[in-house]
Amino acid sequence: MQDAVEKLLGILDLERLEDNLFRGVSPDQSWQRVFGGQVVAQALVAAQRTVDPARSCHSLHSYFLRPGDPATPIIYDVERIRDGGSFTTRRVVAIQHGRAIFSLSASFQIMEEGFDHQMPMAEVPGPDEVPHGKDLKERILKDAPPAVQRYWMRPRPIEFRPILFDHYLTENKLDPVQRIWVRCNRSVGDDQPLNAAVLAYLSDMTLLDTSLFAHGLSVFDERVQAASLDHAMWFHRPVDVGEWLLYAQDSPSSSGGRGLTRGSLYQRDGTLVASVAQEGLIRPVRRG
């Protein structure tokens, strides 16, 4: 697990080619396409490196334009849109084979005091009270499809502990709601830009799946063509990704071959640190 974290931190440490030009790589060239969370996180890092460190990202909005090729480096071209008195805006385009595969707009703000409120976190079992590790494998995953078993048991930098696993074990139509405890497998320190980048990386995991609960399907089902279309994120408060966070998700709508999912990331003490929204392609596969 520690090796996986080091690999993640390595891919987030982009190579600077020019003042506004950066190069990133993918951790595993055997993948069919680049993981969306990786591109979001790398693009955020590229934008961060052109901004005054006193300003932190408060929001990002992005579009996945083409599948990324994991065997080819990704070039991140940063456009310095605006440097204002309180806010800084950047636009980033990720390029492979001479074509844009992803675009991101991010806004940064100086730290300041202001009104403060949030929606409360739901009462749920803690991360040590849900199946995980050997218990998850022996009690639940043994009955799951092979693709689900491979996904949940492989080493990764992010640890996930779902509160319910029903959607992988049944084709019943379920409420499109998911609660998952998540954390990086070790702390990345007090570096808030790096914590934000890792949070952006993990925020793309499991999100699209929630929009399929209402249809008795999952992203591992061969009857579904699934892909992220866009990704938006708001950073409300500082975060330590090495500590457990509750990722509360719900999908208010699916239509036209697309599913919308919203997410809220809470610390264990109930502090809301970030909000997420994503629309994804969830198109039924038509044979023949």
Which residues have a catalytic role annotated?
204, 228, 278
Mean pLDDT for 112-117 is 94
Q: 31: pLDDT confidence band, cut at 50, 70 and 90?
A: low
Q: 30: pLDDT confidence band, cut at 50, 70 and 90?
A: low
What pLDDT sits at residue 288?
58
Q: 1: pLDDT confidence band, cut at 50, 70 and 90?
A: low
User: CA 7, CA 198: separation in Å to the nearest integer?
Assistant: 12
What pLDDT sits at residue 271?
98
Average pLDDT, the chain: 92
Quick check: 189 and 196 in contact, CB under 8 A? Answer: no
Mean pLDDT for 97-101 is 97
Quick check: 66 and 100 in contact, CB under 8 A? Answer: yes
User: Residues 115-170: pLDDT tens digits?
Assistant: 999 999 999 999 999 877 777 776 667 777 777 777 777 778 999 998 988 877 77
Strands, DSSP E only, in 49-112? Answer: 55-64, 74-83, 87-96, 99-110
266-277 burial, b at 16+ Cβ within 10 Å, e below that, comes to: bbeeeebbbbbb
